[in-house]
Amino acid sequence: MENYRIEQDSLGNMQVPKDALYGAQTARAVDNFPISGIPLPQSMLRALGLIKKHAAQANQNLDLLPAEIAEVISQAATEVIEGKFDKQFPVDIFQTGSGTSSNMNANEVIAHRAMRLLGQPLDSKSIHPNDHVNMGQSSNDVFPSTIHIACAEQLHQKLLPALEQLLQQLDNKTDQFKDILKIGRTHLQDATPIKFGQVFSGYARQVEVAHEQVANNANGLFELALGGTAVGTGINTHPDFAAQTIAAIANETDLPFREAKNHFQAQGAKDGLISVSGSLKCCAVSLFKIANDIRFLGSGPRCGIGELVIPAVQPGSSIMPGKINPVMAESLMQVCAQVIGNDATVSLCGLSGNFELNVMMPVMAYNILQSIELLSNGIKAFDEKCLAELQADEKRCTDLLEQSLALVTALVPEIGYDRAADLAKQAHKTGKTLRELALEDGVAAEVLDRLLDPASMTEPKS
């Protein structure tokens, strides 16, 4: 007992660790939810701090909160924003679906820290978690706003810049490989020639589209539910509270946050989060294709495709000396698989917007923020450890191109589809080249020189 103190809430007494800044409601949540051991991510703690800081200042401006109390609440919330009390937020992600436990965790930590700043004991309640720190708010509008702020900041600070860097790298490779001819492939079979630069231009466009989709969907995060309180009606809050609080948050984060157009939608549905998660899934699908293509194109080095030379970043095998594996591509592909799974979880959670409140918000937040973090880090590592030093094996590309029977496609306008198909079958069966068989079939040499030039097959005829 000497390591604990007794705190009270509406359910009665509760033991709280002696030096903890949180109180009875947080302690109850820790006791109730020993599920994963995963607390809220720091980005959400920062967002909670931003809300509490600017809520206190707005309530002071509206003459609802004494200046002395508002100032210490704001100071304590600033310390939360700075990450000074992260260990004081032990509540599990898998908690009450409204995030009430985490909102009260923030209220209690900030209230107790504010009392310490005033030199008062923790049990004095001269600054009350609900009456003062949570003034004008409800968990039902605070927690969705917290998620939106955290996700918007992470997208604009991490993922969107990572995609921009990746796009620049792919544009560089498009230019570097622009004159290298190689065989195309459809259905995993030889197809008509293509330039390696054209291949990478396709990858670059995929990333560009992913960036556009993520950025466009992120705009929905700028609407905040603050001001709706319990069910969207704004009970127990000043009509100007939300606008003042959100404007200050927008100013501090340099992001265009605004009050939700409809508070009932903002609290009963999670459409903005669903859209963002969907765009993250689309991004993951594109990145998986790019990484997997590069992995296959670099297969070998002698008995695979081998058109790309993948940088050696670590030994590939504990038993096969000299083996190098496409580990950076594999890492990114695993990230993409996790993000796609996260989106399924977020979608299922979005179905639980029952009546006036969604009750699956914490796990939605966790999965979206994890997806943003994984994609940001995975892209950066893939860019720096694989793409930056990726090279094309031009000789290998030429050798494979010359062996392909797909060049026969260029003869179709001259000799027709059926004759061209027959030539391809004969070439495969006899080992003769297409040129040899076409000459035997009566096609003039100068016509073959023109039609069988691989470079001419990579652009539309004028």
How far is residue 190's CA from residue 352's CA, in Å, rounded to a whole number?
Answer: 49
HSE toward the beta carbon, residue 390, CA cutoff 13 A: 29
Can you tell me which residue has the tokens 């539309």? 460
| pLDDT tops 90 at residue 123 | no
| pLDDT tops 90 at residue 124 | no
Which pLDDT score, from 0 to 100, does residue 122 have? Answer: 82
User: Is 187 an annotated catalytic residue?
Assistant: yes
Which pLDDT score, from 0 to 100, does residue 461 have? Answer: 74
Q: 187, 279, 286, 371: which one is catalytic? A: 187
What the block records as the tokens of 88 is 């004081």
- Helix residue spans in 234-360 (DSSP H): 241-253, 263-268, 271-297, 327-350
Which pLDDT score, from 0 to 100, does residue 125 have? Answer: 85
How far is residue 351's CA from residue 353's CA, in Å, rounded to a whole number?
Answer: 6
- The CATH homologous superfamily for domain 405-458 is Fumarase/aspartase (C-terminal domain) (1.10.40.30)
Per-residue pLDDT reduced to its tens digit, 152-193: 999 999 999 999 999 999 999 999 999 999 999 999 999 999
The DSSP code sequence of 232-245 is SS-TTS-TTHHHHH
CATH number corresponding to 147-220+265-395: 1.20.200.10
**Looking at the domain 16-135, which fold is it?**
Fumarase C; Chain B, domain 1 (1.10.275)
* 17, β-bridge pairs: 4
Which pLDDT score, from 0 to 100, does residue 200 have? Answer: 98
Per-residue pLDDT reduced to its tens digit, 60-90: 999 999 999 999 999 999 999 999 999 999 9
How many residues can be counted in the chain?
462
**Structure letter (DSSP) for residue 131:** I
Per-residue pLDDT reduced to its tens digit, 340-354: 999 999 999 999 999
Domain residue ranges in the chain: 16-135, 147-220+265-395, 405-458
Q: How much of the chain, in percent, has pLDDT values that exceed 70? A: 100
Per-residue pLDDT reduced to its tens digit, 217-243: 999 999 999 999 999 999 999 999 999
- Helix residue spans in 17-159 (DSSP H): 24-32, 42-61, 67-81, 100-117, 139-154
Q: 124, 317, 428, 456: which one is catalytic? A: 317
Contact criterion met (CB below 8 Å) for 310 and 386: yes
| pLDDT tops 80 at residue 37 | yes
3-class secondary structure, 391: strand
How far is residue 435's CA from residue 452's CA, in Å, rounded to a whole number?
Answer: 8
Same-fold call for 147-220+265-395 versus 405-458? no
